[in-house]
Structure 1
Amino acid sequence: MADTDFASLSSRELAPYIQHTKISVGITRDEIIAHAQEAVEYGFGAAMVPGSWVKTVADTLKGTGVPVATALDFPTVGVTSSAGKAAEATELVRLGADQIDIGVQIGWLKSGDFHAFRDDIAGVVNAAGVPIKVMLELPLLTEDEKKAAIELSLEAGVSYLKNASSGAIETASPANIRYLVERSPEVVLVKASGGIKNRDQVVELLQAGAACAGTSAGIEIITNSTSSETASY
Structure 2
Amino acid sequence: MTDFTALSGPELAPYIQHTLIAVGTTRDETIAHAREAIDYGFDAAMVAGSWVALTAEVLRGTGVTVASALDFPTVGVMTSAGKAAEAAELVRLGARELDMGVQVGWLRSGDFDGFREDIAGVVRASGVPVKVMLELPLLTDAEKSAAVELACEAGAAYLKNASSGQVEVASPASIAYLVERAPEGVLVKASGGIKTREQVVELLSAGAAKVGTSAGIAIVTDTSDASTESY
TM-score normalised over the length of structure 1: 0.91
Letter in 2 for 1:9: L
- Checking the alignment, whether the CA contact within 8 Å between 1:21 and 1:49 is kept in structure 2 is yes
1:128 & 1:7 partners in 2: Cα distance?
36
Q: Deviations over 1:136-162 (max 9, x none)?
A: 000000000001011111110110000
Unaligned runs of 5+ in 1: 220-231
Tell me, yes or no, if the aligned pair for 1:21 and 1:48 is still in contact at 8 Å: yes
Q: Among residues 138, 147, 150, which one is paired with 2:148 in the alignment?
A: 150
After superposition, residues 83-94 of structure 1 pair within 5 angstroms as 83-94=81-92
Determine if the alignment matches structure 1 residue 113 to structure 2 residue 121.
no
Q: Sequence identity of aligned pairs in percent?
A: 74
Aligned counterparts of 1:213 and 1:83: Cα–Cα separation in 2: 28
Contact 2:189/2:212 (<8 A) preserved: no
> What are the within-5 Å matches in structure 2 for residues 132-151 of structure 1?
132-151=130-149
8 Å Cα contact 1:167/1:216 also seen in 2: no
The residue identity in structure 1 corresponding to 2:34 is A
Flag as ranges the 4+ runs of structure 1 deviating above 6 A. none
- Determine whether 1:46 maps to 2:41: no
Quote how far apart the aligned CAs of 1:218 are: 4.5
Which whole-Å CA distance do the structure 2 matches of 1:212 and 1:126 have between them? Answer: 23
Residue in structure 1 matched with residue 102 of structure 2 by the alignment: 104
Q: TM-score, normalised by structure 2?
A: 0.92
Give the letter aligned to residue 112 of structure 1: G
List runs of 5+ in structure 2 lacking aligned partners. 218-229
The corresponding residue for 2:220 is none
> Post-superposition shift, 1:24?
1.3
Alignment partner for residue 57 of structure 1, among 55, 58, 63?
A: 55
Preserved CA contact (<8 Å) 1:197 1:214: no
- Cα separation, 2, equivalents of 1:28 and 1:169: 26
Which residue number corresponds to residue 227 of structure 2?
none
Question: Which SS does the other structure have where 2:34 is aligned?
Answer: helix
